Amino acid sequence: MKKIVNKALFYKEWINVKWITLLTILVLLLYKVYGVMSLLNQNKMWLKDHNNGSWIARWFNNGLFGSERYYFIMVFIVMILAITLFIGEKTSETQGFIASMPFTRKEIILNKWFVGVLCLLISFVVTYIFLSLFYFANLKDLNTTLNPYSDIVKWFFMDTFQYVCIFTFMMLIQTVMGNSIVSSIVGGIILAVPMFVAGVVQDLIGRHYGFTESLYMVYDKINGWVNIYGYNGAHEEWYNPEINSNNISYKNCYYLNYKLKLLILFILTCLFLYLAYVAYKKRSLEYNLRLSVFNSLSHVFIWGFAICLGLVAGSIFGNERLRVFGICFIVFTIIGYFISKLLLKVLSSGK
């Protein structure tokens, strides 16, 4: 480990991202710790006003896994983290200076990764401790069977693996693209492309064969695996207990395929890190301000952008006819081809 982690490089990167660590801790405390505290207070008010104890069943479980905005904000923070680690070196002579020093490319990229992972890990550990303290401080108000402590442990590992994986992918995109801000934006979009394509395919099949329940079930399963952003999203199961005289539905949140998803996230993280190392080792510093630092990947960007634009246009303007969808797809793919070439030229004009 000492041969990989360089103290000077590690300290330099940590100085740049320590404020992101504090920001991440604040976000996690707001959406997770305050989330369970808020539901506990709502519970107490409900019990006081209605004298009904049925709602208290899974308040900790619901508070821990709630809030959809949390997922978007965390992805945004991970994008900022990746940008911060690379933007200074790409827009100044810092990277050339570091490259001239006795540091290997392997040391540079791995120290960036270790610092980013440490930033996320510290944030989740701090939040885990606060959640644990709050859990044990309120045991008298908890049904530990319906709100097991293992919920916190599962959340910790799932969210840590999730955002470390996304961060590693953002680093990979940073190593193959020049503009730091555009790189993170493109990386965020790429992770959503498989889910988008699956949705378009489902829509096309539905138009041709009709929308059926089996089609939606198959799509939900496919979407659950290709949507990396949704791996740490808990499944919500609604129920209405017979003892509920107010006819109110309650929910229980839990992970689907928990261990398998952790394994997939781990494998993807290792793959992305290896590819990031290979790309960083082969990239030329003089191409730092180009949109793509590898000429071969420029074609991937051009056609990827063009095809995605064609699919979006076909979905919006295609109506219910496959022929109209095909025409819109072809026309906007051609338009997207020229737009992407223009973007490459404009965003690479600095070099």
Low-confidence ranges of the chain (pLDDT < 70): 1-4, 46-56, 90-103, 208-213, 239-250, 284-291, 319-320, 347-351
* pLDDT computed for residue 245 by the predictor: 46
* pLDDT computed for residue 51 by the predictor: 59
Neighbours of 110 (CB within 10 A): 20
Encoded tokens for 298: 């420029």
Q: For the packed helices 105-137 and 150-176, what is the interaxial angle rounded to 10 degrees?
A: 160
Locate all alpha helices (DSSP H) within the chain, ordered by sequence. 7-28, 34-50, 59-65, 69-90, 94-100, 105-137, 150-176, 180-209, 213-226, 258-282, 295-317, 322-347
* pLDDT computed for residue 48 by the predictor: 66
- For the chain, the domains span 7-293
* pLDDT computed for residue 72 by the predictor: 92
* pLDDT computed for residue 169 by the predictor: 96
Strand partners, 238: 251
